[in-house]
Structure 1
Amino acid sequence: MNSKPRGKLAVGRVKFFGRHRGEVNSSAFSPDGQRLLTASEDGCVYGWETQSGRLLWRLRGHKGPVRFCRFSPDGRLFASTSCDRTVRLWDAADAKCLQVLKGHQRSVETVSFSHDSKQLASGGWDKRVMLWEVQSGQVLRHFVGHRDSVQSSDFAPSSDCLATGSWDSTIRMWDLRARTPGIFHQELEGHRGNISCLCYSPSGLLASGSWDKTIHIWKPSTRSLLIQLKGHITWVKSIAFSPDGQQLASAGYSHMVKVWDCNTGKCTETLKGVLNVAHACAFMPDGKLLVSGAVD
């Protein structure tokens, strides 16, 4: 589904991707919006052509439900995580598995790429964050400190800092320039529920969504909370900044998608009634808003 957030938010197109053999846990758009990934409980990663809805591939290899998926910023790779405790790296051109990253002790729940697509971070139920070199598949760093499952992550635009969100209700900022392994240099507290999603703006602001049904926008350099966004009726599943950083889209674990003005904190648009559960939202370079989710 796509929509234009400038002016009135309206549904432009709806496509159905209905060949999964299990519940869809997450989804992700390619940087150009041409493809959609879906991670399924059936243990497969699915690739779709966004406009036509055509199934491009059904990828097997994981030995358990697939929990999360994400494209690299350059669009050449994508990663999937699973209850089988691994991260798989795939070539986006031919959908071949390039690496199987092993090291987590429990289910892997989140993965994110650095902006140059050369590094990858993963986290999960073992409460650890692992930093990997994409080309070699080698572990670069371990980060330990969260007191519960790590469920979300994102690299700062400069790629010198990694933010992770946990079910311990905190956000930790890891300095990737420091040589000491696994020492965080900032902690952001304020949410009253599990941190479910994180997203940096182009200018370096950090947005966090939570099970407390709110979104916080932070200035990480000063550890200050700039704006708190309220209006979702369920926990926040996905958030995305517009290319200019002036707007934020959010998808709740419900039928509701919202667009916010980041300067005023006001909700400018609400879309509801199309999806039963929204999974992912993403702005395209032309300003269109893409949303994926599930229907009964």
Structure 2
Amino acid sequence: MSRSVCWLLAAACALSACGSPDRELIERRVSGVRAARSGDLLVSCGEEGEVSVRRGGLDAPVIYRERGLPLYACAVSGPHYAAWAGLDGKITLFSAAAGKPAARFMAGEWSVLDLRFSPDGRCLASAGLDGAVKIWSVPSGRLYRELKRNNFPVRSLSFSPDGRYLAGAGYDSMAVLWDLKDGRAVKAISAGMEGALETVAFSPSGLLAYGGQGRTIKVWEPLTGRLVCSLEGRFGANVSLAFSPDSGKLLSGDMSGNLTVWDLDGCSVSRKLAAGPGPVNSVSFLPGGNSVLAASGGEVRVIQLR
């Protein structure tokens, strides 16, 4: 299991809290970062098992803290909810309004590798080392649906922008699309590359991208199966992806510490950046699409793209 520390920053506070230099160091000893679409909720969690919740930015006071077993996944839903999970398979759902956990529940006996809130915040999806993908109701934490897949670990999840579909990618080199109305797998796309898939991401316009241990990133129209772009990287495996707010660009982070900005109109490289030493385990666009949060080599940075 790779070292996991996740910082989740709300988009509304990120630029003001993090500053504006081209590449500003935000926090050391961090390997993952994600950004909420709205609100000012910030949550940090890591392999030391400590969780800290802040409201208002990086310098804001901690409103909640706890310590437990190592954590491998974090998620945030606007200003309302956060969630974390890890080694023991237990998911904690935190209510910002109450200032304390709203529910704790077991996803299973195996570690949780990824968590994602639905766009409307009413559901939380979890992916496990045992290949289980489960949908939980928010805020009750009740199991709503379990999605069928094989026993290969599922490494990454992403909801479609309308919340109807969930995509999952994992160690069997397959990207699977489920219809959440009935739980059916409506599409399974082979990566056509050796090794595991590490990351999957929906764009705001509904395109689906995935990448992994192979150097190729593929962008699809998920329901038709039409290939939109095949993007050939030059460095290590791709481990993180994020679309720009206008869906026109795709940001990828690889194992070698490189960030690549892809122009999807021409399926070509727009810009290359160095995020830091080590794998870029997570990337997120900040509001406006002109800057991103990236985690690489134990450091989180704000990087300006223009």
Distance 1:183 1:43, change over 3 A: same
Aligned residue type for 2:87: C
Q: Quote the residue 2:32 is aligned against.
A: 26
2:46 to 40, 43, 55: 40
2:74 to 47, 60, 69: 69
Distance 1:242 1:273, change over 3 A: closer
Aligned 8 A contact 1:259 1:267 in 2: yes
Aligned 8 A contact 1:275 1:293 in 2: no
2:242 to 229, 240, 243: 240
2:22 to 2, 6, 12: 12
CA distance in 1, matches of 2:272, 2:39: 21
CA distance in 2, matches of 1:87, 1:67: 11
Aligned 8 A contact 1:25 1:67 in 2: no
User: Across the two proteins, how many residue pairs are aligned to each other?
Assistant: 280
Report the secondary structure of 2:26's partner residue. coil
Q: Compute the displacement of 1:199 (Å).
A: 1.1
Gaps of 5+ in 1: 4-9
Structure 1 window deviating more from structure 2 (45-54 vs 99-108): it is 45-54
Q: Compute the displacement of 1:126 (Å).
A: 1.5
Distance 1:155 1:255, change over 3 A: same
Aligned 8 A contact 1:27 1:69 in 2: no
Alignment deviations for residues 44-92 of structure 1 (CA, whole Å, 9 cap, x no partner): 234568975667467325x4211011211x3311111211111111124
Aligned 8 A contact 2:74 2:85 in 1: yes
- Per the normalisation by structure 1, the TM-score is 0.84
Distance 1:168 1:274, change over 3 A: closer
In the alignment, structure 1 residue 150 sits paired with structure 2 residue 154: yes
Structure ranking higher on relative contact order (CA contacts 8 Å, 6+ apart)? 2
CA distance in 1, matches of 2:93, 2:52: 14
Aligned 8 A contact 1:213 1:230 in 2: yes
Aligned residue type for 1:120: L
Alignment deviations for residues 163-206 of structure 1 (CA, whole Å, 9 cap, x no partner): 1111111011111112xxx5312101124221211111111110
Q: Compute the displacement of 1:146 (Å).
A: 2.6
CA distance in 1, matches of 2:50, 2:167: 28
CA distance in 2, matches of 1:281, 1:194: 19
In the alignment, structure 1 residue 137 sits paired with structure 2 residue 141: yes
CA distance in 1, matches of 2:255, 2:121: 29
Distance 1:68 1:269, change over 3 A: same
In the alignment, structure 1 residue 125 sits paired with structure 2 residue 126: no
CA distance in 2, matches of 1:184, 1:52: 40
Percent identity of the aligned residues? 28
Aligned residue type for 1:114: S
Report the secondary structure of 1:286's partner residue. helix
Once the two structures are superposed, the pairs formed by residues 46-195 of structure 1 within 5 Å of their partners are: 46-47=52-53, 56=62, 59-61=65-67, 63-72=68-77, 74-92=78-96, 96-178=100-182, 182-192=183-193, 193-195=195-197
CA distance in 1, matches of 2:252, 2:94: 27
CA distance in 1, matches of 2:84, 2:58: 23
CA distance in 2, matches of 1:52, 1:139: 33
Q: Quote the residue 1:227 is aligned against.
A: 229
Q: Compute the displacement of 1:233 (Å).
A: 1.6
Alignment deviations for residues 108-144 of structure 1 (CA, whole Å, 9 cap, x no partner): 1011111100011101111111111112111011112
Aligned residue type for 1:17: E
CA distance in 2, matches of 1:33, 1:256: 29
CA distance in 2, matches of 1:57, 1:232: 43
Distance 1:174 1:60, change over 3 A: same
Aligned 8 A contact 1:24 1:41 in 2: no
Report the secondary structure of 2:186's partner residue. strand
CA distance in 2, matches of 1:184, 1:147: 15
